[in-house]
């Protein structure tokens, strides 16, 4: 009979993130090929894991159509060279797709059904803009189940400003600017690059090149630059391109394992799963979703917010992140939060972003043996939030000097 097991994040890798659209580096690259590259890179970096031992592959996409359809976990697994005996499936929880891939696989590992699994996500927003080919049921609006603006993420972000007037545009602008500065500092220090898989890309002129880093960064951003930007979601609004995650293409992949497999194969996990939770909120203000999901995850873990030493929060919009920080009494510029920048700087390829948060937290854990627990959390379209709490295997109980 299967026994309950601990769950470990062994490793994670991702493609560089590209700008969506015709001018982006992945315009001529298939979505499933991005996921394949991330999967190959992950397995090549972990040669001690026999490919035939992978129990399942879960890959998320928000727009499951075209080259992002056809049961991605299975098709990408085959294309990446996994044995035909390895099954796979696809997941959709919009922005929390990859996060849900991880938690779904974690549940199977914890129950002792799986030993090893691959979990990730991909989004090619250039080929598949958010909401493309979607057909929302007219009852949502006709029966006033949700406001029409709930389907526009920028409108929901503006409503956070309405609800919390003390979350000013200036605070949002400053958070967006610092995200850019922190991301570039992390690049300059060589902290991001080790977990990136280079991707061969074909330009508009037919020439081949190599994608080696995130394309959309704007490290020279100043408060003056942000103050002058247009507010596309509302006249005289407060949400701008400088305080929003850009439309992005990219893929992320992670390797998860149970305690038995870790011991048997001599693996060196980067994180241990502590707890996770998802929660629903009003779709009109979807940005507050990570607040109740984090409260649920903390309760499941028997922890408080003060126990969390590192935060990786998805920056769908700056106001969305600072609404969570404000709720928990954390300063906008707290050094525990998004140390290496976030989605405002590097991009948010919807269903792929959850594992990017985990990759960055895992790398920070390795540098911070004084930190025991970390949180990855994100808001989710249509009014949801997702949170995962992780434990640092390098923790030594000593406070940082």
Of 95, 124, 181, 394, catalytic:
95
Burial of 324 (0-12, 13-18, 19+ CB in 10 A): buried
Whole-number Å distance between alpha carbons of 58 and 42:
14
**Token pair for 264:** 């048997």
Whole-number Å distance between alpha carbons of 74 and 255:
16
Whole-number Å distance between alpha carbons of 87 and 121:
16
Q: The tokens 């220090």 sit on which residue?
A: 189
Three-state DSSP class for 386?
A: strand
Q: Look up 348 and say whether it is catalytic.
A: yes
Q: The tokens 């935060």 sit on which residue?
A: 311
For residue 362, report the phi and psi dihedrals to the nearest 5 degrees: -60, -40
- Asked if residue 263 lies in contact with residue 45, where contact means CB atoms within 8 angstroms, the answer is no
Burial of 274 (0-12, 13-18, 19+ CB in 10 A): buried
**Token pair for 57:** 């592959």
Concatenated DSSP letters of 138-195: THHHHTTSS-GGGG-HHHHHHHHHHH-TTS-HHHHHHHHHHHHHHHHHHHHTTSSGGG
Pairing mode of beta strands 271-280, 384-391: antiparallel
Q: Look up 181 and say whether it is catalytic.
A: no
Whole-number Å distance between alpha carbons of 27 and 101:
26
**Token pair for 250:** 């990219």
Q: Look up 379 and say whether it is catalytic.
A: yes
**Token pair for 49:** 């894991």
Whole-number Å distance between alpha carbons of 383 and 140:
13
Provide the annotated active-site residues.
95, 348, 379
């Amino acid at each position: 009979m299967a026994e309950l097991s601990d769950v470990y994040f062994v490793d994670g890798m991702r493609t560089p993130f590209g700008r969506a659209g015709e001018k982006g580096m992945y315009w001529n690259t298939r979505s499933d090929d991005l996921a394949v590259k991330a999967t190959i890179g992950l397995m090549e970096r972990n040669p001690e894991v026999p490919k035939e031992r992978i129990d399942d592959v879960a890959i998320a996409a928000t727009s499951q159509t075209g080259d992002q359809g056809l049961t991605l976990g299975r098709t990408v697994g085959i294309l990446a060279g996994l044995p035909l005996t390895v099954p796979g499936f696809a997941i959709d929880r919009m922005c929390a797709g990859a996060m849900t891939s991880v938690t779904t696989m974690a549940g199977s590992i914890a129950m002792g059904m799986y030993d090893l699994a691959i979990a990730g996500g991909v989004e090619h927003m250039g080929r598949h803009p958010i909401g493309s080919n979607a057909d929302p049921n007219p009852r949502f609006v006709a029966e006033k189940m949700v406001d029409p603006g709930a389907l526009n993420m920028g409108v929901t972000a503006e409503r956070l400003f309405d609800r919390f007037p003390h979350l000013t545009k200036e605070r949002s602008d400053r958070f967006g600017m610092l995200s850019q500065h922190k991301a570039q500092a992390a690049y300059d220090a060589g902290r991001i690059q080790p977990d990136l898989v280079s991707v061969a890309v074909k330009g508009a002129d037919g020439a081949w090149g190599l994608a080696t880093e995130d394309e959309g960064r704007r490290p020279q951003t100043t408060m003056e630059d942000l103050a002058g930007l247009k507010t596309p979601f509302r006249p005289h609004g407060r949400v701008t391109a400088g305080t929003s995650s850009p439309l992005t293409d990219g893929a992320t992949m992670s390797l998860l394992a149970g305690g038995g497999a870790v011991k048997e194969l001599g693996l060196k996990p980067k994180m241990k799963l502590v707890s996770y939770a998802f929660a629903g909120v009003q779709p009109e203000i979807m940005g507050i979703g990570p607040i109740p999901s984090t409260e649920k995850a903390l309760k499941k873990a028997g922890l408080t917010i003060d126990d969390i030493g590192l935060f990786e929060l998805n920056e769908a919009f700056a106001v969305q992140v600072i609404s969570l920080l404000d709720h928990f009494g954390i300063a906008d510029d707290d050094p525990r939060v998004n140390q290496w920048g976030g989605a405002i700087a590097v991009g948010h390829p919807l269903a792929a972003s959850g594992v990017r948060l985990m990759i960055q937290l895992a790398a920070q854990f390795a540098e911070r043996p004084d930190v025991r627990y970390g949180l990855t959390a994100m808001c989710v379209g249509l009014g949801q939030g997702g949170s995962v709490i992780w434990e640092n295997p390098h923790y030594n109980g000593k406070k940082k000097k």
